[in-house]
Structure 1
Amino acid sequence: MGSVSKIILQRLGLGLVTLFVVSIVIFTAVNLLPGDFAQSILGQGATKDAVEAIRKDLGLDQPFFARYLDWLSGAVRGDLGTSFAAANFSSFVGSDAGSGLGTVAQTIAPRFENTMFLAGVTAMIAVPLAVFLGVLAALYRETIFDRAANIFTLSSISSPEFFLAYVLILVLAVLNPILPSLSNIFDGMSFSERLERTLLPALTLTLIVTAHMMRMTRAAIINLLASPYIEMARLKGISPMRVIVKHALPNALAPIINVIALNLAYLITGVVVVETVFVYPGIGQLFVDSVKLRDIPVVQACCLIFAGAYILLNLAADIMSILSNPRLRHPK
């Protein structure tokens, strides 16, 4: 168990180093975005002194390296800064009315909760469906079912997210009004209403991520079907389905876990287009709105959350693969 703990600690250390490097890239890239928040708020007719006053209030007049260290130290403490847009609104409505409106964490928290709900609904549909289809495709490989499943999944993954979203809106919301076309959820909704509004974007994401997981499940199982212990199980007269589920699938978990984790990371980091199409109030929609407003702290926080979720899920997949396969604990 000591070697496993050492491997896990090494992976966590590499994850932290990766997140640190990514934070530098995020801060640099976001601050290179064209446009200026102070100029966009005041308009083209603003005087230079007025623009400089707002930049000073927001700390934009500080050197690049000082602003990065201030942002990084705050992020480590859980303080992601102050939203420029909310802070500007607070300055107009007064300090009492605007108190508590400016923190990035308060702006992101409800949106991130909505995105996690969408990702959870999608995962509950996509993961069992993909593994089930992958097992069936391996069981009936080179048959009409196998070819049809491959054609359908490859077609869905080759299509842009917005195209699939509009097709589902046309079929399930316009021609057959089963689900609402807009996912305008809000606080106070019942779970059933929230689920109904989330189902259409969840189905769109399901079509996108199912193909990867299904094909990896199929390939991993087929790769093991020629193994001696599988042949022995067949010679014993065990049914083909039981051979796959009981003997092949457990030994194929490592690559399947990896591809599932990568697709779960996509459900958190790649939802920008889907949330925008369905006007879903998640972190992806907030990211797009913040880029339009040049709200740098919110954009940086969204990018950092995307990177952190991706790195964390990849670390989880790596660790689970090591725990599920003893051979990976001893590379020699």
Structure 2
Amino acid sequence: MTSILKIVSQRVALGALTLWIVSLVIFAGIQFLPGDIATEMLGQSATPETVAAFRKSLGFDLPLHLRYLHWLGGVLQGDFGTALSNGRAIGELIAPRLFNTLFLAVVAALISVPLALLGGIVAALYRNTFIDRAINVVTLASISFPEFFVGYMLILLLAVHAGILPSLSDVDSSTGLLMRLNAVALPALTLSVVVLAHMMRMTRTSIVTLLSNQYIETARLKGMSEWRVLVRHALPNALAPIANVVVLNLAYLITGVVVVEAVFVYPGLGQLIVDSVQKRDIPVVQACSLVFAATYVLLNLTADILSIVMNPRLMHPK
């Protein structure tokens, strides 16, 4: 147990270091973007004195390292600053958008994870048969299509022709659960199609590898059915790599929603960052980028910890 805690502590420290480095990259990348934000906000007709006063009000007259320390100190205290476009606190803008993005990711996960596990198990159980080949063809095809193409195809089929789902995902704080589920159905299906193939193929690969082990052959010689061998002996040992790929795909569901939210005009964090880039609202772009990075690092850290905890060699050392 001590070795596990030591490894987990190292992973947590590495995750914190990674997030700090990412914050440096985000801040530096935003600062070195071409163009002057003061001129963009005030217009070309603004006088040099007005531009200088506006830059001073934003703290742009300070050295770069002081600006970074001021921004990082505010973030650590939960203060992301103020949006330039409307003067609202960035935390107030991000909170409902982050909830919408998390809700969309959870719905997509509830659709994709069970289907991926079931499809991977069936493909492994009937490997090298027509069922296995059909599943492989479907998964490879879904991997090949980009998100926007899948989204537009689903809009064409389910919204335009069938008319059973809305093409635009318009939700707000007053939207009820059933209406919200109806609104996120198409973007959730789009995300599910994209991540389903990765999880399904990983599940199949892990189980097929384990089915060739000697203890599986021993269980079969005892007269156990193939499904019982699979569920009781193969699947528990395959949980570590499966859990790893599931968590990593959940990270993609949350951080890779920018294109999907833009397609369906879904009011999530991805749509907020797209709107902020168009408005040159740099503080909001920085905050959204950091939230995405923190979410991705946290879920990658969770995947590492799950792999460690579910490793029998660490849990039961000789």
TM-score, length-normalised on structure 2?
0.97
8 Å contact from structure 1 (residues 131, 213) kept in 2: yes
Contact 1:3 1:329 in 2 (8 A): no
Corresponding position of 2:208: 222
Between 151-160 and 190-199, the greater mean CA deviation after superposition: 151-160
- Tell me the CA shift for residue 193 of structure 1: 0.3
Match of 1:207 in 2: 193
Counterpart of 1:46 in structure 2 is: 46
Structure 2 matches for 1:261-276, cutoff 5 A? 261-276=247-262
Aligned match of 2:313 = 327
Which residues of structure 2 form unaligned runs of 5+?
A: none
- Do the aligned partners of 1:35 and 1:294 also contact (CA within 8 Å) in 2? no
Q: How many residues align?
A: 318
> Does residue 37 in structure 1 map to residue 37 in structure 2?
yes
Alpha-carbon distance in 2 for matches of 1:274, 1:35: 28
Provide the residue aligned with 2:174 in structure 1.
Answer: 188
Displacement of 1:25 after TM fit? Answer: 0.6
Shift of 1:329: 6.1
Q: 1:114 aligns with which of 100, 103, 116?
A: 100
Q: 2:303 aligns with which of 305, 317, 326?
A: 317
1:148 to 131, 134, 138: 134
Report deviation, 1:328. Answer: 4.7
1:214-293 residue pairs with structure 2 within 5 A?
Answer: 214-293=200-279
User: 2:4·2:314 contact (CA, 8 Å) conserved in 1?
Assistant: no
Moved more, 313-322 or 167-176: 313-322
Alpha-carbon distance between aligned partners in 1 of 2:301 and 2:314, rounded to the nearest angstrom: 15
- Measured after TM superposition, the shift of residue 33 of structure 1 is 1.7
Let me know the Cα RMSD of the aligned residues. 1.4
Alpha-carbon distance between aligned partners in 2 of 1:289 and 1:266, rounded to the nearest angstrom: 21
1:99 corresponding residue in structure 2 = none
Cα separation, 1, equivalents of 2:71 and 2:316 = 40
Q: What's 1:7 paired with?
A: 7
The answer as to 2:92 corresponding to 1:103 is no
Residues of 2 paired with 1:206 and 1:235: CA distance? 39
1:247-271 per-position Cα deviation (integer Å, ceiling 9, x unaligned) = 1011011111111111000011100
AA aligned opposite 2:10: Q
Q: 1:98 aligns to what?
A: none
The alpha carbon displacement at 1:34 in A equals 2.0
* Distance of 1:27 and 1:327 partners within structure 2: 41
Q: Indicate if the aligned counterparts of 2:94 and 2:269 stay in contact, CA closer than 8 A.
A: yes
Partner of 1:62: 62
Tell me how far 1:331 sits from its aligned partner.
9.6
- State the AA in 1 paired with 2:13: G
Following the alignment from structure 1 to structure 2, what is the Cα–Cα distance between the partners of residues 60 and 186? 35
Partner of 1:91: none
Asked if 1:72 is matched to 2:72, the reply is yes
Q: Which runs of 5+ in 1 are unaligned?
A: 88-101
Q: How far apart, CA to CA, are the structure 1 residues paired with 2:312 and 2:210?
A: 17
